[in-house]
A and B are shown apart, each in its own frame.
Chain A
Amino acid sequence: MNVVVAMKQIPDLQQIRIKNRQPVFDDVPLTFGTIDKNALEAGVMLKENNLAEKVIVLAAGSEDLEDTVKEALAAGGDEAFLIVGDDLNGAESSIIAQVLAAGVKKIDDVGLLLLGEGSGDNYSGQVGSRIAEILGWPQVGYAGAIKLEGNKAIVTRVLEDAEEVVEVALPAVITVVSGINEPRIPSVTQILKAGKKPKEVIEEDELDGINKEALITTVSNLAPESDRKRIVVKNVAELVDKLRSENMI
């Protein structure tokens, strides 16, 4: 059985500048979302425990993906399946879900599809659930632990007020929380080897039946206004004075 890990290529959020309340993306490098890396690590750990044959990284986005995916292959992915298209970076959840579901169908013997509980940028959390519905698979979101036993997964779902341990038959879709593991940092040799790992790259148009209708319209997307005093205080005594004068303490 193979494990597929779906990862989203996003701009490095720490490097986005705000100008006139608008985000500026020029020269911002692309990376995978941080929780996606937890999903990858969870897949790689299943493989290392001999519970999965291969870990295949699945992603849809611009052709920069061929470069971005190297970090995932260095961190333990065995192969990559990339679906590239000019308008796929930042495409709506409903479209990406169809594209990724079509990708899953093209990969052999998938027992488990792993994702992060939310992407690093939009954090909408829809894609995993939409894919599960398209494929007709059961799903478990917010996994804090995953065990495989035969053709079943035993998953601990971490909710706000409880943890529930559930059992689902494979194939299934599971999304993970960041607390599930600590993603490994690849070594230099692993990074060098990553470039040689197998990659299958297909064009988005090669997939049939993708409905690209926009379900959402964005009216505006602006950084909130902020005017902070930004007073640098020299020491704790000065800070305490300032807070006292504002009646804060």
Chain B
Amino acid sequence: MAVLIFSDKANLALELLTAAEAIGEKAKILVINDDEQAEILAHAGAEVYKINNNNDVVLADTAQIAAVVKEAACKLGADIVLLSSNRRGKELAGRLAQKMGAGCLTDVSSMEINGGRIECKRNALGGATVATQYINTDKKVIAVAPRSFAPYAGSGGKVEELALDLPAAAVKVLEVKAKETDTVDIAAADKLVAVGQGLNSKEDLPMIEELAKKIGAEVACSKPLATDKKWLPEERVIGLSGKICKPELAILLGISGQVQFTVGIRDAKVIVAINTDENANINAMADYILTADLHEAVKEMNKLLG
């Protein structure tokens, strides 16, 4: 059951090494056109296989990368491919699985061996349930959700060059625009103040930030606030397509509590919900419920907390 790992991000590849260990395997790692990643991974103890075809391999071409990873898995005798379930990895997973004739699970948050099978957990029904599933086929593609495993820290790895026959790329990259990087990691925060569509306007954000600052929290949000309204960066989104957070305290303001959101916060220790609707779904999963206008409530809290 040899395992091959591929991720476009070094930190996620390190998490995958730990994931492989969880199923009792020492994995080989494929690195494409990224000497820095190869070095970081080898330094952490990984057995790295590097292909350097520079312009011939285009990370943006999912079809080509799937062909490369399949070919590498073949050469290295791996039946199981672990990918990171970030956007690149998730897009790759289905295509690679189809190419390999493999069953595939994405967004996997834990893996363990049970009766010889690799049992994986992932959110289902939009996050309302957690499914335990395994892949029936010998060939398996598993995409592991970021931050599900700690980064691997070993030593004494090595880097080898791998020569592969490559199909030509069919996708041309015209431009890459780096997003402004957000230095805040809401998944690592102890306390969160999260706002949803109950917030009237972007101009009301400063008082939310003030509250967060007063209690030592970071500001997070529901998805529409970032993707539709663009008031906060997407890195601040809690939930199924955002981040899974487990803070000590979460104060949720004007958030209705749909499953795709709650899946990202249900493991918080204490949850406070402030909503004008006393029947909002979010109240069912809160420890403290205040039925109030969030703007008034936040102003008052800021005053009380001095």
A177 to B87, CA, bound (A): 11
Assess the B128–A178 pair: CB atoms within 8 A.
no
Residues of A within 8 A of B (CB): 13-14, 16, 18, 23, 93-94, 97, 118, 120-130, 132-134, 138-142, 154, 157-169, 175, 177-179, 182, 213-224, 226, 228-233, 235-237, 239-240, 242-243, 246, 248-249
- Asked if B28 CB lies within 8 Å of chain A CBs, one says no
Q: How far is the CA of A8 from the CA of B178 in the complex (A)?
A: 33
- Of A158, A159, A240, the most chain B CB neighbours within 10 A belong to A159
Asked whether A169 and B240 contact (CB < 8 A) given A124-B106, A218-B133, the answer is no
Interface string of B267-287 (1 = CB under 8 A from A): 000111000000001011111
Residues of chain A within 8 A of B283, CB atoms compared: 230
Q: Give the distance in Å from the alpha carbon of A128 to the alpha carbon of B125 in the complex.
A: 19
A58 to B5, CA, bound (A): 35
| 17 residue pairs bridging A and B, Cβ less than 8 Å apart | A18-B128, A93-B94, A123-B241, A126-B106, A129-B91, A133-B94, A133-B95, A138-B61, A138-B171, A141-B62, A160-B86, A168-B170, A215-B102, A221-B125, A221-B129, A232-B289, A235-B292
Q: Closest CB of chain B to A43's CB: distance in Å? A: 19
Which single member of B63, B179, B281 contacts A139 (CB below 8 Å)? B63
B300 contact set on A, CB distance < 8 A:
236-237
Is the Cβ of B137 less than 8 Å from the Cβ of A215? yes
Q: Which of A165, A179, A240 contacts B304 (CB 8 A)?
A: A240
Q: A157-B60, A217-B134, A243-B249 are in contact. Are A123 and B107 (CB under 8 A)?
A: yes
Instruction: Name the contact of B91 in the complex, choosing from A139, A164, A248 (C-beta under 8 A).
Output: A139
Interface majority SS (helix, strand, loop, mixed), chain B: mixed
Known: A165-B175, A169-B170, A246-B270. A23 touches B128 (CB 8 A): yes
For the complex, give the distance between the alpha carbons of A128 and B62 in Å: 12
Q: In the assembled complex, how far is the CB of residue A16 from the closest CB belonging to chain B, in whole angstroms?
A: 6
Verify A160–B228 contact, CB threshold 8 A: no
Q: Given A123-B123, A168-B171, A216-B103, are A132 and B135 also a contact pair (CB < 8 Å)?
A: no
* B241 A129 Cβ-Cβ under 8 A: no
Q: What CA separation (Å) do A132 and B289 show in the bound complex? A: 47
**How many of B's residues come within 8 Å of A, CB to CB?**
85
The DSSP consensus for interface residues of chain A is mixed
For the complex, give the distance between the alpha carbons of A159 and B192 in Å: 24
Nearest B residue (CB) for A140: B171
Q: Which chain B residues numbered 111 to 128 have a C-beta less than 8 Å away from chain A?
A: 119, 122-126, 128
Write the chain A residue with the least CB distance to B251: A243
Please name 13 further chain A to chain B contacts, defined as beta carbons within 8 Å, in addition to the given A14-B281, A126-B97, A132-B63, sorted by A numbering: A94-B97, A125-B93, A134-B98, A139-B63, A157-B60, A159-B87, A164-B177, A216-B135, A219-B132, A221-B132, A224-B266, A229-B287, A230-B289
Chain A residue numbers with a CB within 8 Å of B241 are 118, 123
| Distance in Å: Cβ of B212 to nearest Cβ of chain A | 11
| Docked CA distance A59–B248 (Å) | 43
- Assess whether B235 is in contact with A160, with CB atoms less than 8 Å apart: yes
Task: Tell me the complex Cα distance, A168–B170, Å.
Answer: 7
List of B residues within 8 angstroms of A165 by Cβ: 173-177
**Chain B positions 232-288 with a Cβ under 8 Å from a chain A Cβ:** 234-235, 240-241, 248-249, 258-260, 266, 270-272, 281, 283-288
A235–B181 Cα gap in the complex (Å)? 38
B91 adjacent to A243 (CB under 8 Å): no
Chain B residue nearest to A218 (CB atoms) is: B133
Contact of A218 among B131, B260, B271, B285 (CB under 8 A): B131
Complex: chain A residue closest to B301, CB-CB: A236
The reply to whether A233 and B131 form a contact with Cβ atoms under 8 Å apart is no
> Is the Cβ of B132 less than 8 Å from the Cβ of A220?
yes
- Chain A residues contacting B176 (CB-CB under 8 Å) are 162-165
Q: Which residues of B contact A230 (CB under 8 A)?
A: 283-284, 286-287, 289
Give the most central of B94, B99, B124: most A CB within 10 Å.
B94
**How distant is A192 from chain B, measured CB to nearest CB, in Å?**
29
B61 contacts A162, CB within 8 Å?
no
The answer to whether residues A226 and B285 also contact, given A125-B90, A168-B170, A218-B132 and a CB cut-off of 8 A, is yes
